[in-house]
Structure formats: C-alpha cells, structure tokens
Amino acid sequence: MERNEKLEMLTALVGELGFSCDDVVNYWKASGKFVSIQFQDETEEKPQSSAPEKTSKAQQYQTPKVVTPGMFVYVDGLISSEIIEGRQIKAVIGYVDGSDVLAVCLHEAKLPWASKWLEVPETEEMLSGKKATHKILEIAQKEHTKAEAAQWCYNYDRDGVKRGEAFLPSITELEQLCANGVAINASLNALGVALLDGWYWSSTEYNNSNAWLLFMSNGDKGSYGKYGSSSYVRPVLALKL
C-alpha cells in the first residue's frame, strides 16, 4: 500500500469519528504524544548491506606459532605445513632451535669437496656452516684453486633462493638435519625432489687432506679425501623466526 493511500484511509477514519485532523494533532501535542510519522514507500528498495569482502589467498595463511621440521618455506616468507597451489616453495624446514632455523634446499649435486690441494683448518671448530663456507671460499680465492662443494652451495639460485644465501652445512648441522630426516624426506618426497639419502659433504675439515661426511640414512660419520672424491652436496639456509 502506497503512502498516499494510507494517509487517505487515516483521514477518512478521523472524519468518521467526528474529528478533524487538527483535533488529532492538537490532542497529541497537549498530551505529549506528538510524534513525527514518516511513511516509507514499500516500492522503494531498501539499502542493501554491503557484502563482506572476500579474503584473499594471501590472508588465508599465516606462519604458525610453532614451526617444526618438515614444514615448507615459501619465497614470500610464509612457513606452512601445506603445499599451497600457486605459491613457490624454496626449502623445507630441517631443524628448529628457538628462533634459529635450518632449511634444506630442494636440489643437490654430486661433487668433490675440492679439486686441488686446499687446506682450511679454521673450519674444524666452526659450528656454523655459513661461516665455514665463506672461509673455504676466501682461502680458495687466495690459493687460486677451487672448492666445488662450497662454491656450488654459495652459487645456488633456484626456487627463489638468492645467490649467497645458501651454504654447505657443517658436520654438526648435518647431524641436526639427520635427526629429523624422516619429516624432511616426507616433505621432499611430496614435492617430488631428491631425498636426503647417502653420504653428504660437510663444510668441516677433518685434516689437511680429508673433510667430514655424514651418511644421512643412519647418521654414520666419516672422513674422506677432499680431492677428486665426489659425494652429495645439499645447500641449506639459515632463517630467523
């Protein structure tokens, strides 16, 4: 029913009772019941509430408070236990110590530790593979020789990893990764990339002619000749939560 129709009905009803519209208004005023009445045309469209904005895919995921081995590290910094379609994974969480994290890169190579005589005794006491990698490359440059394993890790620039970001892990770091090998390999397998399986070079020197390796399948440790002997090389990343 339209507004005018309602007003006409109201006027007719007042007249039938023997009153005028002024009588009604004056009564309301005197009794304090006067109100302003507005009729809304029923044909008018009521304002519609705005629909809630759709949450973007980027807002749907957040790094959890507890990060554990096997989670995926994305290029944009997100850490998640899920493989998210359309987002680039750069590594898999391998070890967590408070806010310090080691993440395993997705690809590996089989290389000698060095192709010529290269002695870097400083690395024997280094727990940080990143520092050891830089020291190995520093000495190699001074000696005008090659350090294939360390250099390959330093040059690694795949899956969103930038050159200089990855490094050859120390023997201690390899042991930390090995302890979480089941979780790491489950995630690497889900991505369809090489698992941690076999002998891997560390950045830790054993003596002037040997370096430490770790057998990632069972944690056995051994030293082997640096020169010309090829073993697996897997770059890792050091992250902060």
Q: Please write the tens of the pLDDT for every residue from 183-205.
A: 999 999 999 999 999 999 999 99
Sole residue written with tokens 């809630």: 52
Question: What distance in Å separates the CA atoms of residue 167 and residue 149, rounded to the nearest whole number?
Answer: 9
Question: What distance in Å separates the CA atoms of residue 210 and residue 136, rounded to the nearest whole number?
Answer: 14
Neighbours of 184 (CB within 10 A): 23
Mean local confidence (pLDDT), 101-118: 94
Q: What pLDDT score does 2 carry?
A: 64
Tokens at 88, concatenated:
């680039």
Q: What pLDDT score does 37 carry?
A: 42
CB 108 within 8 A of CB 216: no
Q: pLDDT above 70 covers what percent of the chain? A: 76
Mean pLDDT of the chain: 86
Angle, CA 77 vertex, CA 72 and CA 80 arms, to 5°: 30
Mean local confidence (pLDDT), 19-41: 56
Split at pLDDT 50, 70, 90, the class of 38 is: very low
Q: What pLDDT score does 43 carry?
A: 44
Question: What distance in Å separates the CA atoms of residue 170 and residue 134, rounded to the nearest whole number?
Answer: 12
Tokens at 145, concatenated:
């020789």
Mean local confidence (pLDDT), 92-109: 97
Split at pLDDT 50, 70, 90, the class of 28 is: low
